[in-house]
Structure 1
Amino acid sequence: MSSRDGAVAVLLAAEPGRMPRADARRNIERLVEAARAAVAEIGVEVTAHEIARRAGVGIGTFYRRVSSREALLEAVLDEVLAEMTDLAANAAADPDPWRAFETFAAAYVRLRAESCGIREAVGGACGPNLDPVLGEIQEGLRALVERAQKAGMMRADVVWQDVPFLLAAVATGPRTLRLRAGEEQWGRNLRIVLDGLRAPRSQGLPGTPPA
């Protein structure tokens, strides 16, 4: 597990110089749980009133327990993204480099597919405060990609910066060209992308890699 503090701990630490009462802690825990679900379903534009409603507290309690909607969402998103750094570290312990990359890629794409807020956060919608944890995910993914390439298991004409764009493209909307996505369409898309990344490949890629 990551040594990073979770969202509840971060918000409790912001309490001004005193230990919060048990009911205050419970309210923070409810707000974190509600915010996490609301961000996944609605995205980062979810309102404080909607989070408070889901948590079963009034808007006054919301602002007594957290300094702002933005502070709550930042703590929740940081917590969820930190879980991805843990997944990358756990995957890296797998002795099989390709299986390690594949395991992380599947977990990363699933989270993107199931959470509107995470898709927005990794796309830069939440400003620079999440840059440190996004940088950790970058480094974890880079290490997995380069290890698989060094082992000859991933095509060498791909740079690691290509991979986040490929994984981002896997999650799809429910409809396109009058077609409806199948169950776990993202899983089908991911398999095609993973097969395309496996070595050996005889054809090179056009254009220049992402910067």
Structure 2
Amino acid sequence: MTSAPLPSSPSGTGLRVDAERNRQRVVAAARELFAELGIEVPMEDVARRAGVGVGTLYRRYPTRADLIAAAFEAKMSAYADAAQQALADPDPWHGFCGYVEQICAMQAGDRGFTTVLTMTFPTAKQFESDRARAFADFTTLVERAKAAGKLRADFVTEDMPMFLMANAGVLTATTDAAPDTWRRLVGYLLQACAAPAAQPLPDPPRPRQMYKAMLRATRHQRDRS
């Protein structure tokens, strides 16, 4: 069964159908290139892969930030949903482990993902709402896992970006030769998080310090790409 052809009248978004089709092509091309090469890919390359002119791209997305927010909107929604799903798990420890594994898997599948988590997009209201929802749910997940006596008491939310930075390093070093190595790293990290195995740790970094560290790490990753 074939789909009915798109009408030539304006779509519900206020764009002509061909303009909407071009927008979808641009977003799809940006998702692919950002995942493969990182978010510093030239805009001209995105336009070329989408099969549109650079002017068409800039008319819809005047800045790189606009395009990044559009390309990663679904990913950020999935990121927020992952925390919500983890909270729904009746076993807080199982939910916590599943969440860490899922977020690290998202990172493994998309080079731009970690970088985008360090960026803010004030004009992308839904994007920022999903980010806030993800953080609030993860904080609750951590508290529940601790209350259940399964997660070590000194785990802090800043440990998650530390995990992502460690995972990013493993992914960079092993993706071509041993692409599943990151799974072993995550297994080690989760075992270290278990309360029964906990040993005293040095003090954690402050939230602002960790945020600066993530910015520096992702900037270094972009410079190398």
TM-score, scaled relative to structure 2: 0.75
- Between 1:198-207 and 1:184-193, the stretch displaced more is 198-207
Q: For residue 183 of structure 1, what is the aligned residue in structure 2?
A: 179
Q: Given residue 40 of structure 2, which amino acid in structure 1 is its aligned partner?
A: E
Q: Given residue 96 of structure 1, which amino acid in structure 2 is its aligned partner?
A: D
Question: Which string of whole-angstrom CA distances, capped at 9 and with x for unpartnered residues, describes residues 50-80 of structure 1?
Answer: 1111111122322333333331112222332
Residues 157 and 62 from structure 1, CA distance in 2 versus in 1: closer, same or farther, beyond 3 angstroms? closer
- 1:37 lines up with 2:32 in the alignment: yes
- 1:199 lines up with 2:195 in the alignment: yes
Q: For residue 154 of structure 2, what is the aligned residue in structure 1?
A: 157
Counterpart CA distance in 2 for 1:202 and 1:174 is 29
Counterpart CA distance in 1 for 2:114 and 2:68 is 14
Q: Is the 8 A contact 2:167 2:182 kept in 1?
A: yes
Q: Is the 8 A contact 2:152 2:194 kept in 1?
A: yes
Residues 202 and 109 from structure 1, CA distance in 2 versus in 1: closer, same or farther, beyond 3 angstroms? closer
Residues 182 and 104 from structure 1, CA distance in 2 versus in 1: closer, same or farther, beyond 3 angstroms? same
Q: For residue 134 of structure 2, what is the aligned residue in structure 1?
A: 137
Q: For residue 3 of structure 1, what is the aligned residue in structure 2?
A: none
- Deviation for aligned residue 1:131: 5.5
Q: Is the 8 A contact 1:167 1:190 kept in 2?
A: no
Question: Which string of whole-angstrom CA distances, capped at 9 and with x for unpartnered residues, describes residues 69-121 of structure 1?
Answer: 33111222233212100111112111111111111111111112222211212
Structure 1 unaligned runs (5+)? 1-17
Q: Is the 8 A contact 1:109 1:170 kept in 2?
A: yes
Structure 2 unaligned runs (5+)? 1-12, 208-225
Q: For residue 20 of structure 1, what is the aligned residue in structure 2?
A: 15
Residues 50 and 95 from structure 1, CA distance in 2 versus in 1: closer, same or farther, beyond 3 angstroms? same
41, 48, 58: which one aligns with 1:46 = 41
SS state at 1:95 partner: coil
Residues 102 and 53 from structure 1, CA distance in 2 versus in 1: closer, same or farther, beyond 3 angstroms? same
Q: For residue 170 of structure 1, what is the aligned residue in structure 2?
A: 167
Q: Is the 8 A contact 1:35 1:51 kept in 2?
A: yes
Kindly report structure 1 stretches of 4+ aligned residues shifted beyond 6 Å: none
Counterpart CA distance in 2 for 1:47 and 1:202 is 46
Q: CA RMSD in A?
A: 2.5
Residues 64 and 174 from structure 1, CA distance in 2 versus in 1: closer, same or farther, beyond 3 angstroms? closer
Residues 37 and 159 from structure 1, CA distance in 2 versus in 1: closer, same or farther, beyond 3 angstroms? same
- 1:86 lines up with 2:81 in the alignment: yes
Q: Given residue 191 of structure 1, which amino acid in structure 2 is its aligned partner?
A: G
